[in-house]
Structures are given as C-alpha cells and as structure tokens.
Amino acid sequence: MKIENPILPGFNPDPSILRVGGDYYIATSTFEWYPGVQIHHSRDLKHWRLVTRPLERAGQLDMRGDPDSGGIWAPCLTHSDGLYWLIYTDVKRRDGAWKDAHNYLVTAPSIEGPWSDRIYLNSSGFDPSLFHDADGRKWLLNMIWNHNKAGGDKFGGIVIQEYSVEEQRLKGEIRNIYRGTDHKLTEGPHLYRRDGYYYLLTAEGGTGYDHAATMARSRDLFGPYETDPAKHILTSKDTDPGHLLQRAGHADIVETEAGEHFMVHLCSRPLDATRGAVTGAGIHSDDVRRSPLGRETSIQRLIWEEGAFPRLAHGGPAPAAGIEGPDLPEHPWEAAPARRTFEGALPPEFQWLRTPEPDRLFSLTERAGALRIFGRESPGSQFEHALVARRQEHLNFAAETEIEISPGDYQHFAGLIAWYGRNKFHYLAVTADEAGARVLTIYSCAAEWPDPKVSIPITPVPLPEGPVRLGLDVEGATLRFRYAAAGGEWTDAGVALDQSAISDEAGNGPGNNFTGAFVGMCAHDTSGRGRPADFLSFTYEAR
C-alpha cells in the first residue's frame, strides 16, 4: 500500500498520533477556530476522516479575545486507564516578550466523548504533552518560556512535573530535563519508553523553513538526555527549495500492532509560482515562498532498531512525498459531498471563530433549509465575528454559495469570503450603497493592513432583488470572484486577487502565522443590530 503525502491536507498542524487496538487517531491544532482540536480517525494510516472536535463548550474553551493564531496550540492525545486524555494550550497573548499560554486537560471514555470539563494544569509554556510511565505515574512535559532571554529565542528548555490523578493537579518538583541543541527554539516534546531508554522527541528551529524534529534519550526519566548524533531525525531545511514538503518538523511516533513504526509531522507545500524563489544574495526568502494551505500533516516510515535512535526508512532527514504504508488492508471512508445544504446539523467540515456561543452567530432552525448568519462585528473582530467556513484543501478549487439578504444600508453586508485572518482576506459581499440600493462589493486585504486595502464596487448597480449566487475560483496564487443574479448566468467580477497573500508567509511571515486558508460564508452588521443573511447552500470542489 502506497501512501501519498500529505495525509491531512490543508490546515492540520502539530499532529499527535495515537493507536488504540486497530484504530489510529491524530489530533491537530485549531488555533482560534471553534470547536477546538481536530481528531481524525484511520484504520490503515492512509485514509482519514474527521471524527470529532472535543472542545465544544465554555467549560472547556472560550477564545473570545484571543489573537489571530492564538487559541489552541499543539494538543497531545493519549490513552491510558480506559480513558482518552487530551492536553492542550489556550494562548491568550502571543506577541512581544510575554506569552499568556494556559495548559489544560480533558478526558473521555470514548473518542466521541463525552469529554470532561477542563482541568487547569499550568501556564509556564506551551506545547504540553502527557506521558504515562510503566509504573502508572503520569508526567506533564512542556517547553518553558523565558521572557528574560535576549533576542527571539526565549525557549528555556523542556520541563517535566508529575500529574496527580487523585488531586487533579500537578505536584512535586519541576525539572528542566532538556535544553535542546544549537538549532534553538526547542518545543513540542513527546516522550517514549523503549529498550531501557526514555526517548524525547522535540521540535526545533521555529515553524518556518528551518523547522526540524530532534531526538534525545536517557536511561533516567529526569536525564541527562543525550542528543541523537544525527541531531535531526526530520527536517526540510537542507533540501532543495523545490522539494514538495517544506517546513517539516513537530512530529510524533506510533507503533502498529505488527511492530512497524511511523512518524507523523507537520509540513507545508509552497505554491509552484513561489517555490524555490531566492533573494538576490542567493538566500532562500520566506517572504517569497507562500503556502496558502498552511501547515499540513504528513507521515514517514521509520526504522527503529533495538537500542538505536530511529531513522527515516528511505534514508536522510528529508521527508518523502510518498511512502510504503503499513502491513494493513486499505480502509477508505466515504467521501463528503461537494455540495452542502443546511438541514439539521452544521456539516462537519465547517467551523467558526473563537466563541462557545454559536447561537449568537448562526442558526439552522430559524429558517428551514437555510444557514442564517447574524451580522455581528467587523471582519477584524476578535470577539464576535460571524464567519462559518471550511479549510482550503487544494491549491486549485472552486467554491459557491447562494445567499438571500436585504441590506438596509452599507453597515450591513454578507457573502463569500477567502479568509486567513483579520488582515488577510478577500470578500465578495452583498451590501447597500448610501441610497439604500443593493450592490456587490469586493473587500480585499492582502496582508498589508488590518482594514481593506481594496474596496471594489461591481456593476450592475443596483443588484436585482432575490437570491444571489456568489462564486470564486482559485488557481494557485490567483483568485477570481464571480456572481449571478437569480436565474442568471455567471459574471466575472473583473478583478484578479492575490490568493498567495492568504497564507502563513504573507505579512509578518512564518513563525508568526500558524493557521491556513479557509473559504466560507459570513455576515456583518457594524450598526450592532444583528441583521442576518440566509445561505441556502455551499459547494467546494477541487479543480
């Protein structure tokens, strides 16, 4: 069985992998998107389906006010004592010298839940993980943040502390067990026990194009840990910039029932138009390479001989675009339909931003067969932004929606949006002009300012009453909007927009942006009246 990478396309970073019997699960970061943490399920490591997002209520997660690329960082999913254990960080501040990063634990008897309310652990750093030792004791690991360190490397090493199940809190001494290598920025710890050693896998070099996975080991839980002589088990930093999988790092390891070992890791795929670009000095420029799909999850086969450090089966540290899968029968899942209607529950691929009160943003019951989105705060809001969207999973795709809205003025607008964050979006909106006539407008913010850089009125003006179809077509770095009045033919909006700006690297660059491109439906009412728009369908198709 051949497996082509990535196995989780689109925004799915920081994978934590778990096997329970013949079932495999990967938990990935969701940052400011709600509900929190994506968990995918597989039976063959090749085919994956979204099975749950466990952080779905205020007793587990409330991200109102969290910054873009804050929120849920690097979850860790484990299984012990008949329970699933999920550790995660909620980042409230991520800029400047300080980080406000709070670490929590939830548990469940089944992967589908019910998941418990959160237990607070600590706030000393991010990327927490839970290690269940053979003697039954449990240990929390996380990187520690040292705001007193000069420069950009404020990573103070990997710390460990015991977790008391009975007291539901951390207890005992906090020990710093690993300071990392000269590659710096040591984070993302996962601990394994094998052949009389504790193996510590970490991520280093930041999450940009110097990212890497580094391993160390010790006979004692508390160290000292000896770094692998090869240093990095996985990295793309020394590969040709044309290599398919860039930014490889932040990894986790799973063993199959047959004793085979595989590593999952984050990576990105820069657009062909930007791949391999270099500056005039011949140095690769992160500002030129752009990956709208964000950081994705790929998988590599390992060779892990007794008493030795593991190695990629194909040799070297660079990730392979395709691997030989495990000795398991293929187990595909039924594909989701391209066209979605809104009857019953919200389709599982859709999420919204930050709030545990989705009823404030949208309703599936106020109008039968429609998704009613209530116009809330502006596209730059970090509190109540009424946006319902799904991940972009392909470099070339088309999306369409049908909307009914009667805006009374220009403060009420709604439509189809390509979204990364508050200063990276392209938005085709139905709104009204100052005379109250219904019109179409494009708002575009190409990673340059937190307000629209381009506001483009579209003819015809006024727009006829009735439903309006809105569409977009993305080909790599280019996005074009189109529209159709009720019963009419599609009309190109007449402008080509920079879709590469809807990416990690645009703006302040990788290492500062952590999500990926979404496409979806939104409504805004900056008057505060909460006037709605009704969406009748949504279609997403790869091209």
Cβ burial, residue 269 (10 Å; 0-12/13-18/19+): buried
3-state SS assignment for residue 543: coil
Mean pLDDT for 125-142 is 98
CB 534 within 8 A of CB 403: yes
334 is catalytic: no
Q: Is the pLDDT of residue 276 over 70?
A: no
255, 349, 384, 475: which is the annotated catalytic residue? Answer: 384
For 468-519, the pLDDT digits (tens) are 999 999 999 999 999 998 778 999 999 999 999 999 999 876 667 899 999 9
Question: Lowest mean pLDDT: which of 179-188, 252-261, 408-417, 502-511?
Answer: 502-511
Complete domains list, the chain, with CATH = 2-324 (2.115.10.20), 339-542 (2.60.120.200)
Q: Is the pLDDT of residue 66 over 70?
A: yes
Mean pLDDT for 50-70 is 97
CB 481 within 8 A of CB 260: no
What band does 159 get if pLDDT is binned at 50, 70 and 90? Answer: very high
What local confidence, expressed as pLDDT, does residue 283 receive? 36
List CB contacts of 198: < 8 A, sequence separation 6 or more: 191, 192, 217, 218, 219, 220, 221, 225
